[in-house]
Structure 1
Amino acid sequence: MTVHQWHRDTIGQKAVQALIKNQFDAVYFPSKEEAGEYILKFISPGAQVGFGGSMTLTEGMGLVEKTKAKGAELLVHGDPQLSAEEKLEVMRQQQICDVFLTSTNAVTLDGCLVNIDGNGNRVAAMTFGPKKVVVVAGVNKICKDIEAAFGRLQSIAAPKNNKRLNLENPCTITGSCANCQNASRICRIYSVLKKKPSLTDITVVIIGEELGY
């Protein structure tokens, strides 16, 4: 085992234990392949499966394709073939789907999930609605505490997502949040889950690799 893998395993497992203490179901896997096999166990043929616009799940793990192969009905609002009205309807359907797969912008070492959203559909579905929520994150998203997590949102998650979406906001030039007032601003809803939401079945999967933003 390399020193890098030792460190990833150590902080990943520490975050999992903190999440469990905060009443989340949480598991750790060293690799995305192992984690992917575990996540797919929640998917059954015919199930409606929503995807929360996560680069971790799409680029990092290929879960959209694997979920489709299992015969599930996919709810992917980021499909470029959808009209604005169709996209909105998919986002509404995600709120009551069978399984909602998403990532989180940050996980703290004291077991909190910290997120930032533009429309709020992702954090809404993560909090209440779907029968099952699976939150997936690489160890690169683990932060010391909530303050550090918000720093990560401003310096990493928000600028990278703005750049990915080709938005003309200041952070795509400076690389960090400027608390802009632009109409195209996507940093509008901030969410901190300090404990598992009472009526939501959530499993948090931490992976010992760097994935997503």
Structure 2
Amino acid sequence: MEHHAWHSKVIGEKTVSKLKKHGFEAFFFSTKEEAVEHISAQFFPGLKVAFGGSLTARQLGLRELAKISDCVIIDHGLPDLSENERLDIMRQELMSDLFISSSNAITLDGSIVNADGYGNRVAAMIFGPRKVIVVAGINKVVENEEAAMSRLKNTAAPMNMKRLNRETPCSIDGICHDCNAEERGCRAYTILRRRPAPTPTQVIIIGENLGM
């Protein structure tokens, strides 16, 4: 086995083992194709599927596959929405049958770490949807919660702010300033150390680099 694939598999499976001990249903897939097959098998006509603004989900083509399966798509990322329309859809996402998102970081010891601007994504990962799927590339896996916060602040957030054309210090120089910018994207921080009690949650780790 090629060295990179071997390392991804070892790290991914170790993380999955810890997540299972913490009450999550967790899987490791070596390729995105395997992961997509697993996720899309859970789609069926009429299922209300919501997306948490995930670049990873977009890279996997999950929205298109849900549409092909005649799912009801709830997505605040549609173009040409007004702010009020976007907020209304975010509220609808909390009542979905299946909420699909990625994570800013997942630790080797089984914690899921995120920061959010509106709070809609982290709220839905905790309570509301009947089921949650968190899907992440191996690049999101870090050693511990301290490393997760560092990744969030100095990798994920600056790249996301740049992608969204936000006027923040990190979108200029690529590092966190713990700013008070009006367009700051890191406002609500969550650490899921165990599965939220009422919410069936799958965590899928893919042995490829995905998202930010």
- The answer to whether the 8 A contact 1:50-1:75 is kept is yes
Superposed structure 1 runs of 4+ greater than 2 Å apart: none
> Where do 1:1-213 residues align within 5 Å?
1-58=1-58, 60-213=59-212
The Cα shift of 1:189 comes to 0.4
Aligned-residue CA RMSD in angstroms?
0.7
Q: Given residue 114 of structure 1, which amino acid in structure 2 is its aligned partner?
A: V
In structure 2, runs of 5+ residues without a counterpart are none
Q: Given residue 147 of structure 2, which amino acid in structure 1 is its aligned partner?
A: A
* Aligned residue-pair number: 212
Q: Given residue 19 of structure 2, which amino acid in structure 1 is its aligned partner?
A: L
With normalisation by structure 2, the TM-score equals: 0.99
In structure 1, runs of 5+ residues without a counterpart are none
* Partner SS state of residue 45, structure 1: coil
The Cα shift of 1:78 comes to 1.0
With normalisation by structure 1, the TM-score equals: 0.98
Over residues 11-70 of structure 1, what are the superposed CA-to-partner deviations in whole Å (9 max), with x where a residue is unaligned? 000100010011111011000110001011221111110000000000x21111111111
Q: Given residue 80 of structure 2, which amino acid in structure 1 is its aligned partner?
A: Q
- The answer to whether the 8 A contact 1:133-1:202 is kept is yes
* Partner SS state of residue 50, structure 1: strand
* Partner SS state of residue 80, structure 1: coil
CA distance in 2, matches of 1:199, 1:123: 15
Over residues 125-157 of structure 1, what are the superposed CA-to-partner deviations in whole Å (9 max), with x where a residue is unaligned? 000110110000000000100000000001111
Over residues 80-138 of structure 1, what are the superposed CA-to-partner deviations in whole Å (9 max), with x where a residue is unaligned? 12221111111001001000000011000000000000010000000011011000000
* Partner SS state of residue 100, structure 2: strand
- The answer to whether the 8 A contact 1:100-1:132 is kept is yes
* Partner SS state of residue 50, structure 2: strand
CA distance in 2, matches of 1:149, 1:12: 15
Q: Given residue 174 of structure 2, which amino acid in structure 1 is its aligned partner?
A: G
Q: Given residue 82 of structure 1, which amino acid in structure 2 is its aligned partner?
A: L
CA distance in 2, matches of 1:211, 1:76: 20
- The answer to whether the 8 A contact 1:43-1:99 is kept is no
Q: Given residue 9 of structure 1, which amino acid in structure 2 is its aligned partner?
A: K
Q: Given residue 65 of structure 1, which amino acid in structure 2 is its aligned partner?
A: E
CA distance in 1, matches of 2:80, 2:125: 25
CA distance in 2, matches of 1:162, 1:184: 9
CA distance in 2, matches of 1:172, 1:104: 20
CA distance in 2, matches of 1:69, 1:82: 23
CA distance in 2, matches of 1:42, 1:52: 18
